[in-house]
């Protein structure tokens, strides 16, 4: 599952970064396959489940949401899957630079999950899995058929090399956080690898199973010397995935070819997938050029994240003639947080009263009527539309986590869950702004000399950083108008994708438009996003700069949960504390994927439950035989 493909309602909210594209894809996969039964078997098994048994039995032939008879062939052409407008490397695991879109198809992991269950893992590179009774290690046996793209067998040496490299300083820093509690990888024999853990943790076997594996020969020169991992750029990766790089041009286009020698094509977890012979990505300079190129027939499918575009711009002759088809597909992904994120490293945002005031100035109802055609729902949780969303008063399970932290938490955390301000009658923007003005006054901000100023006379002024251009500008403009009524000067600044990554890496921003990718089962990725240890690590995912011992304690409870109930309680406690902290001005979400596509494309009759639209298209769609017409899906 790709993480740059959001279900929140608009693409123009910045993903954590392009260089972290595969890292978040990995974390989403972990969430789909979060495993370990209550009574962990000591013998090797083909699949594991957190609760009960995996959905699919040992004899399963394919996942239900694929078409096992889908024809192979044809070419799929896509545009930028994010706002990346160029790429300068094939290595998606390092901090600097922009990886080529689609490069994750070159790499596989020891396990993979299904998209119609939230808590199971099936062998991919591994053909069996053995979890130690004390849960302090997990052992994988590598499928003897597994091969890299150069024909070499996948060995335990390659797995250990991949793990050690990703945890090293040469890889992006979030990997050291993700895999921090995996102490070491031990080669048992050439086909067997054991991961040892620092402490029992039900998530760790899944994190180990989802490590992307690449050959130890990647970057090796003919003389046996090695190019440092963080300097690998256009050296072609040696992975075990179904595609290899066919050709590329000037960092603007890249074509992948389905590997005819792909070792795993007949695995049950791969039947019905990877149906295109070629997949090409064309990178356009901006969203307007990308949309016009689609309407001109330059590429095959468009995932639309802007309701305004879906209603007003995704139209034209080719739509009228049936050459291009529009459809909304239901999805059940839990919704991640999306909003205007404040950088707590800035003194301006230290006071919670200031942050509450900024939230009160956001008029979602007006935006939904005027700009979004009523297509969205206001976000009120970091886990909206999922069982992890907190609501009402804290439960007994939540209080068991929160009560020991009472001295460190705002008393409001122990009351009702936060409710976002509304402007629909009997509410109004005027009433919300009056509340905001009172909060700002309490925090020492008063209007004088034409601006809202603190005791030192400094004006309340900040910048909203974004790289989405015109798509976000109307939203920001409406928000800025409301802030002006409070005497606050906010400037909306757009920069290109590469520059915003550099500023994110060094936390050089005041406020930014950001989306945290959704997860079905929250875990270690939350530590990277909100843990104190990540706040000062340049390039980390804790962009808001949150440092809270109480949040750290809740995160520990989350990642060490022993039952589903404990995990849900910890996630709700985290949600409650984060929402009461007002670190983000929440925006909106949608429960459907909007996809426009050429009528020559087909998709399976059964939809998955948890999926990202772009990855679903790439992995399970196919080109209809030339003798078939129409736009109907082909059933399994």
Q: Which tens digit of pLDDT belongs to each residue from 320-331?
A: 999 999 999 998
pLDDT, position 30: 37
Which sign does the torsion angle of CA 345, 347, 348, 354 carry? positive
CA distances from 366 to 89, 376, 384, 461 (A): 42, 12, 21, 24
Question: Rounded CA gap, 300 and 295, in Å?
Answer: 10
Q: How confident is the model at residue 43, as a pLDDT? A: 53
Distance CA 507, CA 503 (A): 6
β-strands 75-79, 278-282: how paired? parallel
CB atoms near residue 534 (< 10 Å): 22
Tokens, residue 263: 């070792």
pLDDT at position 469 is 67
Cα–Cα separations (whole angstroms), residue 365 to 426, 427, 429, 473 = 13, 11, 10, 17
Intervals of the chain under pLDDT 70 = 1-44, 50-52, 119, 469, 627-636
User: What 3-state class would DSSP assign to 403?
Assistant: helix
The CA-based dihedral angle spanning residues 366, 367, 372, 375, taken in that order and rounded to the nearest 10 degrees: -70
Residue 216 tokens read as 């130890």
Q: Could you give the CA distance from residue 230 to residue 181 in angstroms, rounded to a whole number?
A: 23
Q: Note the maximum CA span of the chain.
A: 76
Q: CB under 8 Å to 445, separation ≥6 — which residues?
A: 354, 452, 453, 454, 460
Dihedral sign of CA atoms 200, 206, 209, 214 in order:
negative
Rg (CA), the chain: 24
Asked whether the beta carbons of 159 and 216 are under 8 A apart, the reply is no
pLDDT of residue 173: 87
CA angle 146, 150, 156 (to 5 degrees): 45
Q: Which strands, in side-by-side order, build the sheet including 324-330?
A: 301-304, 592-598, 324-330
In angstroms, rounded to a whole number, what is the distance separating the alpha carbons of residues 338 and 2? 17
Omega within 30 of 0 (cis) for the link into 426: yes
Q: CA 173, CA 166: separation in Å to the nearest integer? A: 9
Q: Which two tokens stand for residue 484?
A: 């002006």
Length of the chain equals: 636
Structural domains present in the chain: 33-328+592-623 (3.40.190.10), 338-589 (3.10.105.10)
Residue among 83, 86, 87, 98 nearest 472 (CA): 83
CA torsion sign, 285 to 291 to 294 to 295?
negative
DSSP strand pairing (461-466 vs 511-515)? parallel
- Burial of 283 by CB count in 10 Å (0-12 exposed, 13-18 middle, 19+ buried)? buried
Give the count of alpha carbons within 13 A of 203, CB side only: 26
Name the phi and psi angles at 192, rounded to 5: -135, 130
- The closest of 289, 322, 273 to 596, measured between CA atoms, is 322
Coil, strand or helix at 253 = strand
Whole-number Å distance between alpha carbons of 183 and 544: 28
Residue from 184, 217, 207 nearest 110 by CA: 207
Cα separation, 453 vs 28, whole angstroms: 44
Phi, psi angles (nearest 5°) of residue 254: -150, 140
How many angstroms separate the CA atoms of 9 and 162, rounded?
Answer: 35
Question: Do residues 95 and 230 make contact, with C-beta atoms less than 8 angstroms apart?
Answer: yes
Are β-strands 137-142 and 278-282 bridged in parallel, bridged antiparallel, or unpaired?
unpaired
Stated pTM of the model: 0.79
617 three-state secondary structure: helix
């Amino acid at each position: 599952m790709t993480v740059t493909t959001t279900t929140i309602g608009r693409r123009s909210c910045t993903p954590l970064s392009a260089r972290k594209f595969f890292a978040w894809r990995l974390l989403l996969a972990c969430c789909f396959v979060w495993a370990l039964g209550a009574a962990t078997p000591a013998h090797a098994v083909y699949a594991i489940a957190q609760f009960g048994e995996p959905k699919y039995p040992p004899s399963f032939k394919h996942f239900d949401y694929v078409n096992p008879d889908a024809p192979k062939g044809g070419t799929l052409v896509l545009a930028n899957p994010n706002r990346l407008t160029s790429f300068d490397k094939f290595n998606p695991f390092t901090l600097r630079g922009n990886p080529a879109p689609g490069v994750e198809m070159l790499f596989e992991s020891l396990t993979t999950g299904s998209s119609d269950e939230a808590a199971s893992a099936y062998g991919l590179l591994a053909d069996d899995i053995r979890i130690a009774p004390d849960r302090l290690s997990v052992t994988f046996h590598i499928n003897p058929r597994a091969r890299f793209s150069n024909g070499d067998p996948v060995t335990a040496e390659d797995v250990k090399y991949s793990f050690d490299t990703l945890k090293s300083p040469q890889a992006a820093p979030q990997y050291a956080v993700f895999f921090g509690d995996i102490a070491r990888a031990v080669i048992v024999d050439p086909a067997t690898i054991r991961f040892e853990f620092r402490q029992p943790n039900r998530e760790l076997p899944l994190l180990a199973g989802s490590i992307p594996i690449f050959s130890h020969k990647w970057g090796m020169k003919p003389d046996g010397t090695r190019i440092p991992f963080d300097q690998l750029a256009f050296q072609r990766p040696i992975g075990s995935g179904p595609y290899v790089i066919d050709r590329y041009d000037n960092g603007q286009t890249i074509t992948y070819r389905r590997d005819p020698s792909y070792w795993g094509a007949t695995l049950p977890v791969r039947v019905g997938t990877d149906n295109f012979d070629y997949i090409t990505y064309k990178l356009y300079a901006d969203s307007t050029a990308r949309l016009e190129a689609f309407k001109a027939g330059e590429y095959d499918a468009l995932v639309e994240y802007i309701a305004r575009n879906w209603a007003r711009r995704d139209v034209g002759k080719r739509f009228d003639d049936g050459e291009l088809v529009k459809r909304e597909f239901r999805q059940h992904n839990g919704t991640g947080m999306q909003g205007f994120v404040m950088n707590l490293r800035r003194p301006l945002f230290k006071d919670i009263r200031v942050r509450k005031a900024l939230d009160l100035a956001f008029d979602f109802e007006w935006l939904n009527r005027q700009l979004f055609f009523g297509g969205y729902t206001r976000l009120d949780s970091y886990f909206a539309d999922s069982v992890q969303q907190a609501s009402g008063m804290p439960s007994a399970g939540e209080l068991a986590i929160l009560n020991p932290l009472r001295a460190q938490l705002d008393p409001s955390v122990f009351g009702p869950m936060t409710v976002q301000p509304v402007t629909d009658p009997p509410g109004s923007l005027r009433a919300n702004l009056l509340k905001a003005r009172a909060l700002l006054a309490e925090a020492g901000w008063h209007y004088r000399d034409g601006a809202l100023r603190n005791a030192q006379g400094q004006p309340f002024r900040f910048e909203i950083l974004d790289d989405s251009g015109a798509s976000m500008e109307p939203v920001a403009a409406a928000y800025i108008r409301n802030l002006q009524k409070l005497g606050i000067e906010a400037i909306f600044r757009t920069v290109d994708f590469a520059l915003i990554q550099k500023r994110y890496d060094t936390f050089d921003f005041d406020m930014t438009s950001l989306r945290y990718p959704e997860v079905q089962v929250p875990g270690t990725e939350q530590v990277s996003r909100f843990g104190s240890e990540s706040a000062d690590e340049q390039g980390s995912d804790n962009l808001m700069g949150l440092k809270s011992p109480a949040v750290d304690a809740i995160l520990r409870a989350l990642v060490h949960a022993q039952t589903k109930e404990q995990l849900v309680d910890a996630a709700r406690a985290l949600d409650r504390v984060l929402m009461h902290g007002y670190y983000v001005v929440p925006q909106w979400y949608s429960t459907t994927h909007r996809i426009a596509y050429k009528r020559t494309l087909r998709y399976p009759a059964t939809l998955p439950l948890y999926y990202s639209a772009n990855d679903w298209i790439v992995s399970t769609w196919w080109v209809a035989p030339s003798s078939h017409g129409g736009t109907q899906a082909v059933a399994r």
